[in-house]
Amino acid sequence: MADKNSALWGGRFQKPIAEVAHKFSSSIALDGKLWREDIRGSLAHAEMLGATGIIPEEEVDVIIKGLNEISHEIDRGEFQFDPSMEDVHLAIEQRLIQKVGSVGGKLHTGRSRNDQVALDERLYLKQAIATLNEKIADLIEALLTKAEEHADTVMPGYTHMQRAQPVLLSHHLLAYIRMLSRDAYRLDDALTRVDRSPLGAAAFAGTSYPIDREMTAKALGFSIVMPNSIDAVSDRDHLIEVASACSIIMMHLSRMAEELVIWSSTEFGFVTMSDAVTTGSSIMPQKKNPDMAELIRGKVGRVYGSLINLLTTMKALPLAYNRDMQEDKQPMFDALETTTDSVEMMALVIRETTYNAERMEDTVRAGHLMATEIADYLARKGMPFREAHHVTGKIVAYADKKKKSLEELTIEEYQSFSDKFKKSIYRSLDPRKSLEEKRSFGSTNPEMVRAELEAWRKRTQD
């Protein structure tokens, strides 16, 4: 191990790194995941070195052949990373030198591990964002399908976890679709800042070799080259931005999961989750636990932790590169993998959930959810809304005292509170009629909800 490290770092060091220090500083157990990105970046860099005449084309051919062979070796499990190598970059470079001889050492001409790791991370992020957005699109599809199935199902809407007003279940599910669509937009927006090539920034000051950064950027599918070499290797704000987007996604999933957990309880009975996404109890045979939803809710803390991890790592680093930044790998991988897995699982949970339309509608009629409609009725009759609100509150208190629903009160009882009440009040007490009377854009009006469902279906098919 000491001989290898001495060879890597040259004659500056007279004493090998301590074994415990090497173990403490090694990142290969984590950044080994980036081997595909590392080889891809090296292939583009080698092609550019040949095209610019920095190294002979015949040597480039040898390097490229060696890199492709290493890729196949890793893919087939024939080459295991040597733990004595500090990171994936050195492990692959040393394997290349073993295979093709000293010419392999020319691959590192005009670049540093600093721009190399920055490149690998950006390549990884581009693919990870694309995969996560595919999972979000699948979850949107699952929610949209359920919303279409329950286009006319009436449910109690809640504020402060108290029954508030009737809404359509489809309108409720469309709210989550809107949240997830913004999540996907945030990822796409972050991608525009990820999609920039740092390769060629070298350690941080650039290089004296006549490299062609535009060539490597184009070969690797980047839109632009990062114009400041210091910035290219010394910031991770794009990674923090992606972790932030993941945190918001997980927050939305947690709200959805929380609702499903509550709704699946006997007290609510709004949903039933299938055996595919639930488990039993080790002691209570009657139990059917919503474990997958609970696990999604529980994993939010991991993603939040990854975001705080990254922010804390970067908060006091002077320019340019610092070894602290090696610690960005674990939170990067964990945030994206946990979020992607959670979105995928939530899509399955939604598909395996049955919504109890009858129970939802019964709950609407059991409470005083039409109280706001009474206040609006009085306001339409000319009573100031504040006064109408006060009168309606008295009616609700009276109904509670009499143990009646608002629908069960007689017209005489209503008129004892105001002579503005006519028999037409009972139309306003019908939940479905109240939905139809909603006129504001974006409301739970059935026609508006149906139009939104159709628009989303068209959007998913385009």
pLDDT at 282 (0 to 100) = 62
Q: Taken in order 406, 409, 415, 421, is the CA torsion positive or negative?
A: positive
- Is the N-terminal amide bond of 245 cis, ω within 30° of 0? no
Q: Tell me: domain 363-461, CATH 3.30.70.3400, correct? A: no
Among 360, 127, 356, 106, smallest CA distance to 221 is for 127
Whole-angstrom distance, CA of residue 380 vs CA of residue 373: 10
User: How would you classify the pairing of strands 271-273 and 353-355?
Assistant: antiparallel
Structural domain boundaries of the chain?
2-109, 120-208+224-359, 363-461
Question: Do the bridges between strand 271-273 and strand 196-197 make them parallel or antiparallel, or are there none, so unpaired?
Answer: unpaired
Would you write out the chain's pLDDT as a tens digit for each of its 462 residues?
334 444 455 566 677 778 788 778 778 888 889 999 999 999 999 999 999 999 999 999 999 999 999 999 999 999 888 777 888 999 999 999 999 999 999 999 999 999 999 999 999 999 999 999 999 999 999 999 999 999 999 999 999 998 888 999 999 999 999 999 999 999 999 999 999 999 999 999 999 999 999 999 999 999 999 999 999 999 999 999 999 999 999 999 999 999 999 999 999 999 999 999 987 666 665 668 899 999 999 999 999 999 999 999 999 999 999 999 999 999 999 999 999 999 999 999 999 999 999 999 999 887 787 888 889 889 999 999 999 999 999 999 998 898 888 888 999 999 999 988 989 888 888 888 889 888 899 999 999 999 999 999 999 987
- Residue 323 token pair: 């070894």
Q: Kindly list the distances between the CA atom of residue 236 and the CA atoms of 52, 158, 239, 241, in Å, as whole numbers in the listed order.
A: 30, 41, 5, 9
Q: What is the DSSP letter of 224?
A: E
Q: What is the pLDDT of residue 349?
A: 97
For CA atoms 178, 181, 183, 185, the dihedral sign is: negative
| CA separation for the pair 88, 76 (Å, rounded) | 17
CA distances to 99, 145, 186, 187, 317 from 113, in Å? 21, 48, 30, 27, 18
Q: Please state the φ and ψ torsions of residue 55, each to the nearest 5 degrees.
A: -135, 155
Which run of H or of E encompasses 301? helix 291-314
pLDDT score recorded for residue 9: 55
DSSP secondary structure of 142-204: HHHHHHHHTTT-EEEEEETTEEEEEEEHHHHHHHHHHHHHHHHHHHHHHHHHHSEE-TT-TTT
Q: Is the dihedral of CA 406, 407, 409, 410 positive or negative?
A: positive
**By 3-state DSSP, what share of the chain in percent is helix, strand and coil, each rounded to 5?**
70, 5, 25
Helix axes 169-194, 446-461, angle to 10 degrees: 40
Pick the CATH number of 120-208+224-359 from 2.60.40.10, 1.10.3720.10, 1.20.200.10, 1.20.1420.30: 1.20.200.10
Neighbouring-strand partners of residue 353: 273
Q: Is 150 a catalytic residue?
A: no
Active site residue 281: yes
Nearest to 226 by CA among 214, 211, 236, 208: 214
In CATH terms, the fold of domain 2-109 is Fumarase C; Chain B, domain 1 (1.10.275)
Catalytic residue among 160, 208, 282, 440: 160
Chain-centroid distance, C-alpha 273: 23
Q: Is the Cα dihedral 10, 15, 21, 22 positive or negative?
A: positive
Q: Report the greatest alpha carbon distance in the chain.
A: 101
Which ranges in 381-445 belong to alpha helices (H)? 385-402, 411-415, 425-428, 431-436
The active-site residue, picked from 25, 223, 281, 424, is 281
Residue 286: its pLDDT value, please?
Answer: 64
